[in-house]
Amino acid sequence: MMRTQRLPHVALLVAMACTGGESSPTRRTLIDSRDTYDPRSLDPALSTDVPTGRAVGYVFDGLVRFTPDAQVVPGLARAWDVSTDGLTYTFHLRTGVKFHDGRPFVARNVVNSFRRVLDPATKGGRGWPLYPIAGAKDYADGKGRTISGMSAPNDTTVVITLTEPLAIFPKLLAMPVAAIVPDSVPSNFGERPVGTGPWKFVEWKHDDYIRFARNDAYFDGAPKADSLMARIVPEPSTAVAEFESGNVDVLYVPEGETRNWEETDEKKAMLESAPALRMMYIAINTTRGPLADVRVRQALNYATDARGILNGIMSGRGNLSAGVVPPALPGGDSTRKGYTRDVAKAKQLLAAAGHRNGIDLELWSSQTPPFPRIAQTVQANLLEAGVRVKLVQRDASSMREAARAGQTDLALKDWFADYPDAENFLYPLLHSANKGVGGNVSFYSNGQFDDLVARSRREQDEPKRVSMYSQADQMAFNDAPMIYLFFYRELYAVQPWIKAFKVPTIFTGQRWTDVQIQR
């Protein structure tokens, strides 16, 4: 999944002309700046971070794409069929589509794009969304010379065969890494990309902005604005000041500003909100000492004041979690009762597990705010129950590697969904096949859970699959492989002259094609 430890990301459309920094009442430029750091690249094959993924979505298309409300809709494929056994997908491609350099889009571009992502020489680091294709994983590992599960029988048809049924496969193809590129791309493709998407690349000034122009020939209709500038604004306070002075069209309200905006009538009238497919939690390494006992793990949950953290540190910007599946997704259960803080019960569970005198643990976290404050609060909470916690703070990368290596007792983490499905929470975070580097840094292992999740991934009947998701989430919740904290809520402020803006549920869902400036 795409994840980042940089919580204070900013989203804004700055009211500036594309040719400079001056505002204009007649401008036709949208300027989007939701991230505090430069993209890794503009090459879909190197799309391993959120800023890259968003920028890729402007320039490129996949066979399918996500809408702002996280629905999967046709992209370069106008339709697709699935065989009765769930193994073979036949994609029927649009005709007449051209890349920005004038080359026609044809079926072989799909096959070649996927092969390029999987080629070890590309060094993309994120080929896993294509691993379900027969032969793809072996090819990526250097064990095979061909990918048997991909073919282009003609210019308008792509046939993909999987190693086993996977109901969510189309959602994987909406991810940035599965975007389609032309054949024979140059070595500087990540700096000067060419796609079929709604925006054409113009210029990239690193750590400042990326500029795009409207693709008037876009097959799904040209964007409403003339141009788009994706800017990098490191400081949330800068974004707020720009919005309040009328120089910002859309503002991602910083978490620390939430109450100010929600409790001021004039500001509240400009707010738009939606649940985010993002979760904050503390992974409990279920293999380390006393943490192998479910009673100890449950005690940690009862001792933690998740509501206090949500309301006090995050300004109420979310909903308490009682499982890993967000209630906004099918399979999520908003009625499930979570852990309510009960220090006496926590002590009782610890005593029953043989730890009447408490235990000693380490809690690892990123140094990026608000992670240190949350970690300090949890430390104080757990001490009241007799759990003595040593805080270990590292940069995000070092903390992540330690957790993956099984070196942490507790690890404070957040998780962004790559695609809108409960499977993207259950499988990577809790399935035993993903212990460590795969995302399961709780090292949780439950054979019944694994079997249920595996069957849900193959199940083509959606109601049955959703029921399996809910059962699996409940099963893991009972085992308490993590301290459950909260799901995030997105909050934007929108100027009255901006029309048709929709809060994106999935991070690649907003491509700014329908957003209009009407002064």
Average pLDDT, integer, range 404-416: 96
Report pLDDT digits (tens) over 39-79. Answer: 999 999 999 888 899 999 999 999 999 999 899 999 999 99
Average pLDDT, integer, range 452-473: 96
Residue 384: band (very low, low, confident or very high) from pLDDT cuts 50, 70, 90: very high
CATH of the domain at 474: 3.10.105.10
Q: What is the pTM of this model?
A: 0.86
Residue 468 lies in a domain: yes
For the cut 60, the answer to whether the pLDDT of residue 12 exceeds it is no
Report pLDDT digits (tens) over 215-237. Answer: 999 999 999 999 998 878 778 88
Q: Which residue has the tokens 């699996």?
A: 472
For the cut 80, the answer to whether the pLDDT of residue 160 exceeds it is yes
pLDDT, position 36:
67
Residues 212 and 287 in one domain: no
For the cut 50, the answer to whether the pLDDT of residue 10 exceeds it is no
For the cut 80, the answer to whether the pLDDT of residue 26 exceeds it is no
Residues 215 and 358 in one domain: no
Average of per-residue pLDDT values in the chain: 91
Residues 226 and 313 in one domain: no
pLDDT, position 243:
84
For the cut 70, the answer to whether the pLDDT of residue 13 exceeds it is no
CATH of the domain at 84: 3.40.190.10
pLDDT, position 33:
58
For 28, other C-beta atoms within 10 Å of its C-beta total 15
Contacts of 512 (CB under 8 A, 6+ apart): 30, 32, 58, 199, 223, 225, 228
pLDDT, position 50:
83
Residues 220 and 287 in one domain: no
Residue 254 lies in a domain: no
Residue 11: band (very low, low, confident or very high) from pLDDT cuts 50, 70, 90: very low
Q: Comparing C-alpha atoms, which of 406, 292, 404 is closest to residue 359?
A: 292
Residue 509 lies in a domain: yes
Residue 239: band (very low, low, confident or very high) from pLDDT cuts 50, 70, 90: confident
Average pLDDT, integer, range 321-335: 94
Residues 387 and 416 in one domain: yes
Residues 467 and 388 in one domain: yes
Q: Comparing C-alpha atoms, which of 176, 236, 231, 180 is closest to residue 416?
A: 176
Say how far apart CA 6 and CA 183 lie, in whole Å: 35
Residue 269 lies in a domain: no
Retrieve residue 269's tokens. Answer: 């009238």
Q: Comparing C-alpha atoms, which of 277, 328, 272 is closest to residue 501?
A: 272
**C-alpha distances out from residue 247 to 12, 23, 24, 351, Å:** 10, 7, 10, 59
Residues 35 and 149 in one domain: yes
pLDDT, position 390:
99
For the cut 90, the answer to whether the pLDDT of residue 427 exceeds it is yes
What domain count does the chain have?
2
pLDDT, position 21:
41
Residues 463 and 484 in one domain: yes
Average pLDDT, integer, range 187-199: 97
Sheet holding 77-82, edge to edge: 77-82, 88-93, 157-161, 150-154
For the cut 60, the answer to whether the pLDDT of residue 20 exceeds it is no
Residues 293 and 386 in one domain: yes
For the cut 50, the answer to whether the pLDDT of residue 129 exceeds it is yes
Retrieve residue 209's tokens. Answer: 């902005």
Residue 35: band (very low, low, confident or very high) from pLDDT cuts 50, 70, 90: low
Say how far apart CA 408 and CA 388 lie, in whole Å: 15
Residues 355 and 502 in one domain: no
For the cut 90, the answer to whether the pLDDT of residue 440 exceeds it is yes
Residue 98 lies in a domain: yes
Residue 335: band (very low, low, confident or very high) from pLDDT cuts 50, 70, 90: very high
Whether the bond into 370 is cis, omega within 30 of 0: yes
Task: Tell me which residue range forms the domain holding 302.
Answer: 277-489
Residue 382 lies in a domain: yes
Residues 94 and 197 in one domain: yes
Residues 56 and 35 in one domain: yes
Contacts of 406 (CB under 8 A, 6+ apart): 285, 287, 288, 436, 441, 443
One-letter amino acid at 294 equals: V
Q: Which residue has the tokens 């788009």?
A: 228
Work out the burial of residue 485: count CB atoms within 10 Å of its CB; fewer than 13 is exposed, 13-18 middle, 19 or more buried: buried
